[in-house]
Chain A
Amino acid sequence: MKTRYALLPSLAVLAIASSAALAADAKQPPLGLRNEGMIATVPLGDLAGGAQSNVAAGITNPGASDAEGGRQLFIKLNCADCHGFTAKGGMGPSLVDKYWRYGGTPAQIFKSIYEGRPKGMPAWGAALSSNDIWQIVAYIESLGGTFPPSDYQAAMEGDRSNEQVAPELNFEQKLDGSPEYMTPSNGAGSSGEQPAEHK
């Protein structure tokens, strides 16, 4: 998606000169990513909700093993001063409470860090490597408030793991009979009669 790159020039350049640490981190080899274009496979998604997941939301975090590196970045980049040193919220929202206005799967969190968000979250995409962002995502994942990639749809609909599903749930869709309204076969949807596999 070229839109990702098109965004770059308009992003505020964030203090690159002020942080030698940032430059040093950027030199590290990316974790399994061929190039910075990895972000291109992260979908724009549906921030307002309502649409079905597309495949890319199911990206797992290639940096998932380096939560400690992410924690250090979280403090070094002043994330902790907004979201709290225990990430339970402060100026910015809690990152441990299972409530995600812009989505709580690894790819969605990546997007929020990369793009910034309207209520004051800076856009870090211009200043940080994908590697750094995935590390920060890994730290946030380690805190337990995120959703696994397979929960993209479930999280959007406010579903919990293994919850009861009323048998009438798909009544209208059955009446309608249109296949495009049925639960996708990838198993990510929880609007079907079978709850998705959750962690």
Chain B
Amino acid sequence: MRRSPIPKIRSPSTRALHRPRCAAQICLRCATRSMTFLLFVATLAAHPAAAQDNATKPNQSANPPQQSTASEVHSITGATANFAPNPPAGEWPSQARDYANTRYSPLNQINTSNVGRLRLAWSFADGTQFGHEGAPLVIGDTMYIVTPYPNIAYALDLSKPGSPIKWNYESNPSPVAIGKACCDAVIRGWAYGKGKLIFNMLDDHTVALDAKTGKEIWRIKMGNVENGETMTMSPFVVGDKVFVGNSGGEMGKIGWIAALDINTGKEVWRAYSTGPDRIVKIGSEFNPHYSWMRGKDLGVSSWPPDMWQHGAGAVWGWISYDPELNLIYYGTSNPGPRVPAQRPGNNLWTSAVFARDPNTGMAKWAYQFTPHDQWDYDGINENVLIDLPINGQNRKVLVHFDRNAYAYTIDRATGEVLIAAPFAYLNWSTGFDPKSGMPIVNPEKQPKPNVKLSDVCPPDIGGKDWQPTAFSPRTGLIYAAIFNICMDVTDKPATYIPGTPYDGMDMKRKAGPGNHWGGVIAWNPATGKKVWSLDEQFMVMSGVLATAGDLVFYGTVDGWFRAVDARTGKVLLSQKLSSGIVSPPITYQGPDGRQYVAVYSGVGGAAMVAKANKGFPPRGSTLYVFSIDGESPSRGPTLLTTQAGAPAAQALDQQSGRR
């Protein structure tokens, strides 16, 4: 039985001392401390009325609330995860918090018994108007944010009232990038490593800043924006390497992932997603599980002559890392053009997942989720690495919710698909053939040029897009924010013209069965079945945060921020925010010892496909930070003032009299 760590009340000065103690895997050692709190919580659980009373009372303690455990741990699957690099419990140092991409926090001051008392602690508006898809990072006493275009970086000082700006950095990307990005001028996050804040600019530059000062340490040009290539993904740091990839799957760009030296920015290796084995970095150690992915230069021969050169497979999603197998995992985008009649063949290695050696870039295995993708089912969604008992065996797996609406549980050492089951409504496929590892395509839902095809589900943006899932070791479940959308589509054959879309899908999207656009589910990755689900009227594009308080947090495209009981799916808190939410929530422990939950409210990105729906919100750029009863150094009855270190950046069109 695992229990989450129970730190004592900490003063800021002792915080660092506790850091190594609270990683989730070693929490057994802390378990005995939890007994008194368990008793307390058990009392609350047994007496809902008492909990309710408590929820309505203001917190009378002057001290920060203590950590307490939620209810007794009862994992449904027995799944565990390696939470390396084991950051201090209170920090959120990478987009997914850990290499495994769990998006799970061991903090539990905020839990099922008190989440109803979350109130605004402080907020921060960055003034940029494109979709806010990245999550803030918290390292030490500093929060790091990088805005959508024009990609302004901010460091906020969490140790001072008002969380003032420590420094800002204006990266000044080319405005050309705005019109080359398929799905709004977004970026999906930023990374931290070796004292540097690292992010991709929309116009294909990767930048590293000194996290203390905001001074540029290195900057490298990775592509040519005028040809339709952009960069929107979050860099991913392991040791001395930064992994980055490109966007442009709709622009006929060839996809790639690259490793950069974290100290210099110098490119160490680059692996393409289509083309001959030499540039895909496929060599003798490449050993995919399924025979149809074995052979020489399949990245060329699975295409009509030369079409791999504009075949996409962009790498715009998430990267995971298994330190024991020493492999990184990431997915590739849809093939180009999006009109399948123009590119007979499996179109390898698009809509696929790669496992690669992070040092050399050489591929270990690959698996194509959607061979010869006909619907724009990118394979870029996150791969969550967990260790999962299946049929009595403990398997090292990755769990991947694909755009094609199948959720896959895959042996991450070999690429063998253990489970593939629909998590959202789909009709493009009638089933999955476990022997070949291929989905069975429904011939009635294959688009033909210039013929209108109605009610294809899911649509281009999938049963789930890039918005990431979360894993809780307490429940053993995966939590996913999903879509329920279909489309009418007419393929219009496309011509490759550099800098313009290589696309051809004339689409109209609409709600799926039940006439709602989204939802949130709890998923058993060992059985491929839903444990609970919540329907949402709007898309849920925030992704999900899971915590040791047995809570799941998410936000809707129309701007409702919710906290849900991880075990039952019961909504425990709904808070309307100013704009729609398309950014993953995070949680951290402030220098004051309190647990906070932070989420950006700034609709945009692919959520704009629903912009004509009634109730669709305006854009925004506000980060909301919540705590129990709103208690924080940024809120109080006295004359609080900001001890600011720097003014806001002025790179926005609206500021400094710019036009």
Residue-wise, chain B 489-512 has the 8 Å CB interface mask toward A (1 for contact) of 000101111111111101000000
A92 to B500, CA, bound (A): 11
Q: B181 contacts the other chain (Cβ, under 8 Å)?
A: yes
Most buried by B among A81, A118, A121: A81
Contacts of B659 in A (CB 8 A): 48
Q: Are B497 and A18 in contact (CB under 8 A)?
A: yes
Contacts of A121 in B (CB 8 A): 179
Q: A122 contacts the other chain (Cβ, under 8 Å)?
A: yes
Q: Are A80 and B497 in contact (CB under 8 A)?
A: no
Q: A120 contacts the other chain (Cβ, under 8 Å)?
A: yes
Q: What's the least CB distance linking B581 to chain A, in Å?
A: 22
Q: Are B506 and A77 in contact (CB under 8 A)?
A: no
Q: A12 contacts the other chain (Cβ, under 8 Å)?
A: yes
A19 to B495, CA, bound (A): 7
Contacting residue for A78 out of B181, B226, B494, CB 8 A: B494
Q: B177 contacts the other chain (Cβ, under 8 Å)?
A: yes
Contacts of A40 in B (CB 8 A): none
A80 in contact with B506 given A120-B177, A120-B179 (CB within 8 Å): yes
Contacting residue for A80 out of B175, B226, B492, CB 8 A: B492
Q: What's the least CB distance linking B508 to chain A, in Å?
A: 9
A79 to B176, CA, bound (A): 16
Q: Are B495 and A21 in contact (CB under 8 A)?
A: yes
Q: B586 contacts the other chain (Cβ, under 8 Å)?
A: no
Q: Are B497 and A12 in contact (CB under 8 A)?
A: no
Q: Are A81 and B501 in contact (CB under 8 A)?
A: yes
Q: What's the least CB distance linking A197 to chain B, in Å?
A: 31
Q: B464 contacts the other chain (Cβ, under 8 Å)?
A: no
Q: Are A12 and B226 in contact (CB under 8 A)?
A: yes
Residue-wise, chain A 83-123 has the 8 Å CB interface mask toward B (1 for contact) of 00100000110000000000000000000000001111110
Most buried by A among B180, B250, B494, B497: B497
Q: B231 contacts the other chain (Cβ, under 8 Å)?
A: no
A82 in contact with B500 given A91-B181, A119-B175, A120-B178 (CB within 8 Å): yes
Q: Are B179 and A77 in contact (CB under 8 A)?
A: no
Q: How many A-B residue pairs have CB under 8 A?
A: 69
Q: Are B497 and A19 in contact (CB under 8 A)?
A: yes
Q: Are A78 and B177 in contact (CB under 8 A)?
A: no
Contacts of A15 in B (CB 8 A): 495-498
Residues of B in contact with A, size category: 20 to 34
A78 to B494, CA, bound (A): 7
Q: A160 contacts the other chain (Cβ, under 8 Å)?
A: no
Q: Are B501 and A77 in contact (CB under 8 A)?
A: no
Q: What's the least CB distance linking A76 to chain B, in Å?
A: 7
A187 to B226, CA, bound (A): 41
Q: Are A14 and B179 in contact (CB under 8 A)?
A: no
Q: Are A18 and B496 in contact (CB under 8 A)?
A: yes
A81 to B228, CA, bound (A): 13
A76 to B492, CA, bound (A): 9
A132 to B179, CA, bound (A): 22
A81 in contact with B495 given A91-B181, A119-B179 (CB within 8 Å): no
List residues of B (468-508) whose CB comes within 8 Å of A's CBs.
Answer: 492, 494-504, 506
A18 to B499, CA, bound (A): 13
Q: A7 contacts the other chain (Cβ, under 8 Å)?
A: no
Q: A75 contacts the other chain (Cβ, under 8 Å)?
A: yes
Contacting residue for A82 out of B496, B501, B504, B506, CB 8 A: B501
Extra A-B contacts (6), CB below 8 Å, given A79-B500, A119-B179: A12-B226, A78-B500, A81-B250, A81-B500, A85-B506, A91-B181
Q: Jot down 26 A-B pairs with beta carbons below 8 A, ordered by A.
A: A15-B498, A18-B497, A21-B495, A75-B492, A77-B497, A78-B494, A78-B495, A78-B497, A78-B500, A78-B501, A78-B502, A79-B500, A81-B501, A81-B504, A82-B179, A85-B506, A91-B180, A91-B250, A118-B175, A118-B176, A119-B175, A120-B176, A120-B177, A120-B178, A122-B499, A122-B500
Interface residues of A (CB under 8 A from B): 12, 14-15, 18-19, 21, 48, 75-82, 85, 91-92, 117-122
